[in-house]
Structure 1
């Protein structure tokens, strides 16, 4: 994936269906929701799908190419994904970094991509006035790209993809699990035998000629679907598509790949001692079915029923009864040619995975006896309906949905058959597919265990083959990616080098915010939005970790989790069933500064959902069994974090930034000592002292009016008794007087995780937003930022890097964050320091123009989704921002000058007064960091292996 997070699974897309509800023994249907579209095909074979949605002045544009890792050759794996990266770098008329640069100027969401086994997506959401620019740019990428790829560019991007593999596979717990599964589930000649990202050896061996052959075979109009969804003129858009895409030549015909199901003749058991794992993990994988196979619908219900929730047989056996784990995950991974069915359990410390396997078999036997009830089937379908509407809250989601049907079902109109297939699932179907695909069937079992704990693996397991990269100092290929390609431009009927003009500037209308305050002291903030029949809300109870005793950190998180585990009148299972039967979700969590009860529900079920919220809040069950489960789960999370370099960096950086005297220096989930010391009485005391309406805000967005919200809260307002809550003064350390380098040793780490920063600003400080503007071109602007351009695009040191100011009512840190190849740790830190040092002095008119253009134009899509509207209410309620703060910030952007940026840089970007933290391999990297000039690095942990 081009962004900083790689997706190994296909994008989950959305299906329209009709929910059922049970009433008096009869089944009633809810109203069917349809996504309308128009489809046509150009003479060169390009398929085009158009969908109109005028709810926001934005348009999503996506190119979906029907090629993924399944179309690769053995020995040339990873090409589809490598090619996805290359396609963003340059094209004949966009120039170097053209799409990323243009994205910043036009206020786009950031051009991005993803690769799966069977397709590659390129997508972005932009303000509607930039639609012609996007069509021009996507056509240039498809038809006018390949001449710009040079050997140095290829060499650089190989390094970026390698860094992605290290970050996503080699430098994290269980990162190589799916590679072991797939190489053993699929034979060597099967196109799913290798991972989407490919092997590092194959990537290194890829030649420029290989890349050109891949492009000429697969990146042709007759293998591509263009989807445009949002607010646009259909007639004009068709003309633009014809103009920019029609002269791209059709390629050779693309043969349809036949389905290739696999059958296992034996059960295979494999194990691997994972350098980054602290807990044993068991994964069971069965051969399954391809996308949209008739049995896939019942299999989806089966996976949900077996693993999710209190009634789930696997949860009851493994979590509640045998206390072997805190979670069971069961899911389908269906692709175009075939699929796999995956059950995953991360067990508690020192747990024998044979015991887990016995528990799985016991749960399966219980399911065989009891089956699934019609009531449970209806409950699962109600949740699916809400999930569907959530997916439609963005134009990009709608566009992806239509493209998915076109690519894998042959037509976007398959939506109607999909509906029928989902609704046709019966309880008998669920049991039938269990017997067909799971019961007594062969499977792949992988046991990933901590170093030195092979005795925990399943009996009869053989050592899995895992290829681990060796990173050697000074052995990386040298390149200069800035060297321009020389070529004859591809001829065209018109001058494609001229970027199209903007269309009519969209009128950005901020959501209308309403406010109220109830007699109990509860503050209300709302936005009515009738786009989809959904309501999303959160009740914020201020406090969180701020109100905890330093010796008992973790109380608020445990309390939040316990609040949804039953009420005085409902057992945990009864409460869960009541929520899910409404097609709703209600979750509670804790942050540094709050406890949040968040919900999402169909508008028609909003009142009933709020009655459950009131019951959860005012009638806690204090279930001792659930408390014990939460405690064990939390201890397990703490153990897992100790093995993950990114979590280590986050937790150590907090300590260094906030200082020992601040409660904010703690990891909010606690430590082993604090969690073991917490009792149920401690949770009750926190609840009785700190859960009060006078420190609470209710934020709500969706298809519900202010009057309806007030009515829904009348009983809560009456019954929730107010109490005074006293907040202690929060201490935050000052910025260091001089920089120091801190090092946390993770022996054998393939990457070094970098955190650089200091305690800077609160969100309420006058300089906070101006500093955020200043940071856009440094590291806050994604691919348009200097840090990304230099360390990723220029050097290939990293997969991703960024910087940000993070504050609340309390001063928070400025931070630069990245993961880099371990043997360029010193070089990366030194380059970051140079970039930051020179940033203010070198900031120029072009930097200012790009910054202003992005921050102003991106307002068109700033409040498109319900989540973004809820975030707007959060900022208004917590920081006392005015309702139109977005417009006021727009004025700040318009009025800011180069000189202002220079002053802000001088004030807030002093690299000689920052904390430098490196989490990596001390044996090879620590000594070299002395060359930075901040003295001998301070080792935070003694030499140790993470096992």
Structure 2
């Protein structure tokens, strides 16, 4: 083992200096350091260690420098397939692999992701499980491939194919990326195919293909191991050496050369999308690889052109021509090449040629005026906040260090990365526009709803897309019970012995401070100085609860309008004021509240709250912005009509709550209800219902209680206090008998299921206990029966879960999944059987696994600012004690099998549930009568 270096990376972040110049204040410099140590084992494994003792947790990430770019044509999807396979089994972890161990040790859940250039596996665990994780990751890397057999491969093919159906085939515009990449990159270029691969290639993959791919790329000299958190560095290095050192080095892997793209001519393609409800134009230009020196100016260019009121493209497409509600412009940079992506989902029946003309007009405006120093500094100011956010968890720190190691050659590039952002000039931004966008060839796709081909861009050719046909019995069968037989790989010690736990970590419950102001505003806070950030939420109770069912959507429009300017600031001026602080402020409505949330640097908290005061207390009531918001909201509602998951959520709520309960309605409203709403409706809602007596402010971060109270003085003094009564909701009743409901989406490649019924409120004394009871049913990921039987046992789905959700006003139990269309009835039947048998079969082992996970996972319960904010919300909204986490530990420790069975009897009701399916009625509807709950009710005809 060779120690290469021990570095302390020091960041001199002077972005705020630029922002302060804009505000005519003195320059400021903020230093921030991330200490790490990098070592290299003799077999080539790169190891990066970072110590962070702020919480008793450790993040472990194993990143292989292999993605879809290292696949062969005709054998695509292998890298992503391996992301799945490596969780299943290895020689010494046994069947269930890392997922099964994760449930025992209280981990965040073993997870992974695949890109064009890398595959990573990651998890955050209590610090006492660190040696177990190192042992397990080593077993995956060096002692895995023998466990992959024909049945294992056959099953996981089904899972990956279900993932593709869910994420691509059954989604609006799901095939757009495939069409873009196939035409932007030349044949044979490693970015010309999709990361997830094709269904045909996955089906044709042989066991020999899979093993060859693994042995070439999953070797220590192509892998980086990152360990970040509450660690002892010397002990950690000893464990890494013990478990990884004897894994043999693979063949030498040479650095891949960049493969930039040159388009000889522009290409225009179109496709009639079965799920799209609105036309979408996408344009793609060849760009630059990741961390290329010109990528920084391109990033600022795309943001300037498309984000905010001042953005030239927005001014033309949104404000002037009213063609859309949003322009998306961004880079998609990878290791070998990059692409610049511009996407506009237009309003209903909009000709995409009009969109193209408007884009040209927006570009001409930029060509004439360029970007000012003030706008450049405004965009840069947000980078410091984003940077700190990425480092707010140990896993975030680990990811960043590994990213720089693999793609920039050294973790310390993090320092140069920031300098490169700061170095961009207005001239750089104009130069990259001229070099990569202006008059350059591009690929343009027009994805339009069925029957609306007249909306596509002129001179477009039909895109080639392979659509899967729905055929009963088309998938291969497999037997998941077959155990792999193989000769174990020799080792210098017995790797089958799982390491013992280290010293158990103490649960660190953050100290909470509370204060009630004269106005009735309630404040809860946690001071945390790990990073110089503050996150906050101002929750005002009410939301949808105050609305009239004949005019739904008022609170949603009001919340969105609140950030569109103030009495003394135009929408553009308000945006600039927020961005110049490097802050973010959002306002949104839910079923039960209106929330103003934000993130800011701690030194700018007072200035950020001053802007919140303006947003809340000095609304602008801008008629033009209101009309734009109405158009945007109607467009969003229209888009969701083509999304099976959105359809399922909306229909499920209607069935559960019924016409007389406002919660049966989406808080966005309908196209008709939004059209009927006036600005006076919003003003009436604001004047009647927004009161500090219904408000709670939650603040977490590097700021003291005194400074928070001082910043809120204006809000306390100027916000009119008034008593407001929350309307009483009709009781949502549990069905007397189960019924099956079906919503027809012709040609759906998956059936989306929502099974459930009205259940406990979050304030019910049994609410938490029911969530514990649900862990082995469907709340525990791979530790749950639903996942084990429908995904691992049958290959019916990519994922399935069950859970209780609730508020002060209502609660639900729901099972949700997307299942392969041709096994819709089989899936519903299996879910019903699992529910019926859950109580009968619940065992001491089930309880032991549940207790192990639930108790141990509390060590990482409050690691991030977001987690701490959620803690305050639970305390403030549901009346929980500050140490409710410890109280819940006691509940779990004292639970018996009989306690759980009693909860199952009371709250799992397979014969008194709503069974909702959103899918292809022609092929699936009639079969569902065999569930035994009568003839399915078709919700749309």
Query: How high is the TM-score relative to the length of structure 2?
Result: 0.98
Say whether 1:208 aligns with 2:204.
Answer: no
Which position in structure 2 is the counterpart of 1:531?
530
Which position in structure 2 is the counterpart of 1:401?
400
What SS does structure 1 have at the residue aligned with 2:94? coil
- State the shift of 1:723 in Å: 1.1
State the distance in 1 between where 2:867 and 2:412 align: 31
- State the shift of 1:16 in Å: 8.3
The equivalences for 1:792-871 within 5 A come to 792-871=791-870
- State the shift of 1:29 in Å: 4.3
8 Å Cα contact 2:274-2:450 kept in structure 1 = yes
Which position in structure 2 is the counterpart of 1:731?
730
Q: Deviations over 1:846-867 (max 9, x none)?
A: 1111100111111111000111
Q: Deviations over 1:413-447 (max 9, x none)?
A: 21222222112111110001000000010000000
Which position in structure 2 is the counterpart of 1:165?
164
Relative to structure 1, the CA distance from residue 384 to residue 237 in structure 2 (aligned partners, 3 Å threshold; closer, same or farther) is same
State the distance in 2 between where 1:15 and 1:205 align: 49
The equivalences for 1:538-937 within 5 A come to 538-937=537-936
What SS does structure 2 have at the residue aligned with 1:913? coil
Which position in structure 1 is the counterpart of 2:100?
101
State the distance in 2 between where 1:392 and 1:70 align: 28
State the distance in 1 between where 2:492 and 2:577 align: 63
- State the shift of 1:30 in Å: 2.4
Which position in structure 1 is the counterpart of 2:244?
245
8 Å Cα contact 1:540-1:697 kept in structure 2 = yes
Relative to structure 1, the CA distance from residue 861 to residue 806 in structure 2 (aligned partners, 3 Å threshold; closer, same or farther) is same
What SS does structure 2 have at the residue aligned with 1:75? coil
8 Å Cα contact 2:797-2:817 kept in structure 1 = yes
What SS does structure 2 have at the residue aligned with 1:752? strand
State the distance in 1 between where 2:311 and 2:752 align: 39
State the distance in 2 between where 1:755 and 1:684 align: 37
- State the shift of 1:732 in Å: 3.2
Relative to structure 1, the CA distance from residue 15 to residue 77 in structure 2 (aligned partners, 3 Å threshold; closer, same or farther) is farther
- State the shift of 1:716 in Å: 1.2
Say whether 1:18 aligns with 2:18.
Answer: no
The equivalences for 1:211-222 within 5 A come to 211-222=210-221
State the distance in 1 between where 2:566 and 2:72 align: 57
State the distance in 2 between where 1:323 and 1:248 align: 61
Q: Deviations over 1:116-154 (max 9, x none)?
A: 000000000000000000000000000000111110110
Q: Deviations over 1:837-893 (max 9, x none)?
A: 111111111111110011111111100011111111111111111111111111101
8 Å Cα contact 1:757-1:813 kept in structure 2 = yes
Say whether 1:483 aligns with 2:492.
Answer: no
What SS does structure 1 have at the residue aligned with 2:412? helix
8 Å Cα contact 1:331-1:343 kept in structure 2 = yes
State the distance in 1 between where 2:31 and 2:84 align: 39
State the distance in 2 between where 1:51 and 1:173 align: 42
State the distance in 2 between where 1:15 and 1:456 align: 50
- State the shift of 1:617 in Å: 0.6
State the distance in 1 between where 2:31 and 2:764 align: 49
Q: Deviations over 1:23-55 (max 9, x none)?
A: 376883421323221001000110000011111
Which position in structure 2 is the counterpart of 1:5?
none
State the distance in 2 between where 1:660 and 1:900 align: 36
Which position in structure 2 is the counterpart of 1:7?
none
Stretch deviating more after TM superposition (727-736 or 897-906) = 727-736
Which position in structure 1 is the counterpart of 2:469?
470
Which position in structure 2 is the counterpart of 1:6?
none
8 Å Cα contact 1:117-1:192 kept in structure 2 = yes
What SS does structure 2 have at the residue aligned with 1:817? strand
State the distance in 2 between where 1:71 and 1:465 align: 24
What SS does structure 2 have at the residue aligned with 1:386? helix
State the distance in 1 between where 2:462 and 2:919 align: 27
8 Å Cα contact 2:13-2:30 kept in structure 1 = no
Stretch deviating more after TM superposition (415-424 or 537-546) = 415-424
8 Å Cα contact 1:107-1:126 kept in structure 2 = yes
What SS does structure 1 have at the residue aligned with 2:95? coil
List runs of 5+ in structure 2 lacking aligned partners: 1-9
Which position in structure 2 is the counterpart of 1:149?
148
State the distance in 2 between where 1:610 and 1:213 align: 58
The equivalences for 1:363-442 within 5 A come to 363-442=362-441
Q: Deviations over 1:609-667 (max 9, x none)?
A: 01110011110000000000000001001111111100000000001111221110101
Which position in structure 1 is the counterpart of 2:223?
224
Q: Deviations over 1:371-419 (max 9, x none)?
A: 1111111111111110111111110000000000111011112122222
What SS does structure 1 have at the residue aligned with 2:367? helix
What SS does structure 1 have at the residue aligned with 2:564? coil
Q: Deviations over 1:74-93 (max 9, x none)?
A: 11000110111111100000
Query: How high is the TM-score relative to the length of structure 1?
Result: 0.97
State the distance in 2 between where 1:882 and 1:34 align: 36
Relative to structure 1, the CA distance from residue 35 to residue 252 in structure 2 (aligned partners, 3 Å threshold; closer, same or farther) is same
- Root-mean-square deviation (CA, aligned residues, Å) is 1.1
8 Å Cα contact 2:11-2:415 kept in structure 1 = no
State the distance in 2 between where 1:764 and 1:923 align: 43
Which position in structure 2 is the counterpart of 1:10?
none
What SS does structure 2 have at the residue aligned with 1:34? strand
What SS does structure 1 have at the residue aligned with 2:778? helix
What SS does structure 2 have at the residue aligned with 1:73? coil
Say whether 1:325 aligns with 2:315.
Answer: no
State the distance in 1 between where 2:261 and 2:133 align: 41
State the distance in 2 between where 1:530 and 1:32 align: 14
What SS does structure 1 have at the residue aligned with 2:478? coil
State the distance in 1 between where 2:728 and 2:25 align: 58
8 Å Cα contact 1:15-1:418 kept in structure 2 = no
Relative to structure 1, the CA distance from residue 159 to residue 290 in structure 2 (aligned partners, 3 Å threshold; closer, same or farther) is same
8 Å Cα contact 1:583-1:602 kept in structure 2 = yes
What SS does structure 1 have at the residue aligned with 2:154? helix
8 Å Cα contact 2:108-2:123 kept in structure 1 = yes
* Structure 1 runs (4+) greater than 2 angstroms displaced: 14-18, 20-30
8 Å Cα contact 1:543-1:690 kept in structure 2 = yes
- State the shift of 1:676 in Å: 1.1
State the distance in 1 between where 2:888 and 2:543 align: 29
What SS does structure 1 have at the residue aligned with 2:252? coil
Relative to structure 1, the CA distance from residue 365 to residue 27 in structure 2 (aligned partners, 3 Å threshold; closer, same or farther) is farther
What SS does structure 1 have at the residue aligned with 2:226? strand
Relative to structure 1, the CA distance from residue 15 to residue 440 in structure 2 (aligned partners, 3 Å threshold; closer, same or farther) is farther
The alignment covers a number of residue pairs equal to 929
Say whether 1:68 aligns with 2:67.
Answer: yes
State the distance in 1 between where 2:191 and 2:33 align: 34
- State the shift of 1:98 in Å: 2.1
State the distance in 1 between where 2:224 and 2:628 align: 48
Stretch deviating more after TM superposition (798-807 or 722-731) = 722-731
Say whether 1:92 aligns with 2:103.
Answer: no
Q: Deviations over 1:300-349 (max 9, x none)?
A: 01011000001100111111111000001111100000000000100000
What SS does structure 2 have at the residue aligned with 1:333? strand
8 Å Cα contact 2:11-2:33 kept in structure 1 = no
State the distance in 1 between where 2:168 and 2:627 align: 33
